[in-house]
Structure 1
Amino acid sequence: MKKFLACITMAASVIASGNVLAHGDKPKHGGIVQSANDLSFEMVNKDNATLIYVEDHGKKLSTAGAAGKLTLLNGAEKSELPLEPAGENMLAAKGDTKLAKGTKAIASITFANKETVNVRFAVR
């Protein structure tokens, strides 16, 4: 009986704390959201242009002075595109980027404070 009550209590606490434990955010721009180094990144592909939005616990994180590269892996094909600031909390890949189903993307971003973050995305 004690084991049964312990299981019920544990299950209830997991269910109740589900929202608190979740770190991933919902897409705000219709893209793919991933977390890395306690930051949230949303990759959006529209009209063959790829943008990455950056947030720190729900607040926009400035990308001024940031730079990086976006590596796209699609089967045996590999391409690398530079990332440059394109707005308050946004980086844009320079060049046409069509993200097909199954494409894997790795963004390597160095912020103005010299902190580098690598974040991986998978297009489904």
Structure 2
Amino acid sequence: MLTQKTRPSGNVHSSSYRRILHALIPLTLGLFVQVASAHAPSHADKPRYGGEVRRAGDLFLELVVEPNGFAVYARNERGRPVLLADMRAEALLWTDQGTQTLSLRRVGGEQLVASAQLPEAGNFRVIISLTPPASEQRRVLFGPLSLANAL
């Protein structure tokens, strides 16, 4: 007479797989939440003063073109203003006539301004360089810009 081997209910291997699966589900969901929050849109990349916003490392710079120059504002990734008082700041204006280094002067703690004769016709570009204390330089290019489109 043949005897059949009896198996216990639930395969030993399937219970191991279930335990692994139950451990992986929270881990996978946790990773998904972290990735989704890391790529969540930031409010810092929206212009607050009517200018153009560009990312410069961990800062967001907004360049606002005015008739006699431009202003620069900085925000962190959460959209909060960044104090620019301790930063070394430079600007380079690049037009069809050549380049010009501009001095940026601080107005309050959160704004830099530069006086410049911007071309009335044609495009120009502006390179802003900021160097925070004990950190590396952040450089960002704005443009092509046009005085006619900015005002």
Cα distance change, pair 92–67 in 1 and its aligned pair in 2 (3 A): farther
**How many angstroms apart in 2 are the aligned matches of 1:99 and 1:115?**
32
Q: Which residue identity lines up with residue 53 of structure 2 in the other structure? A: V
The answer to which structure has the higher helix fraction is 2
The 1-side partners of 2:119 and 2:46 are apart by 20
- Once residues 141 and 113 of structure 2 are traced to their aligned partners in structure 1, the CA distance between those partners, rounded to angstroms, is 16
Match of 2:99 among 75, 78, 81: 78
Helix, strand or coil at the partner of 2:85: coil
Out of 36, 41, 45, the position equivalent to 2:56 is 36
Q: How high is the TM-score relative to the length of structure 1?
A: 0.71
Residue 118 of structure 2: aligned partner = 98
Q: Report which of the two structures shows the higher radius of gyration computed on alpha carbons.
A: 2
Structure 2 residue 70 is the aligned partner of structure 1 residue 50: yes
Question: What percentage of aligned pairs have identical amino acids?
Answer: 28
Aligned length: 107
The one-letter code matched in structure 2 to 1:98 is: L
Find runs of 4+ consecutive structure 1 residues off by over 3 angstroms: 21-24, 112-115
Stretch of structure 1 that moved more, 73-82 or 19-28: 19-28
CA pair 99-112 structure 1, distance change in 2 beyond 3 A? farther
Show structure 2 runs of 5+ residues with no match: 1-35, 147-151
* Alpha-carbon shift at residue 115 of structure 1 (Å): 3.6
Moved more, 100-109 or 22-31: 22-31
Using the size of structure 2 for normalisation, the TM-score is 0.60
Q: Is the 8 A contact 1:69 1:80 kept in 2?
A: yes
Greater strand share, structure number = 1
C-alpha spacing 1:99/1:29, structure 2 compared with 1 (3 Å): farther
Which residue of structure 2 aligns with residue 89 of structure 1? 110
Secondary structure at the residue paired with 2:91?
A: strand
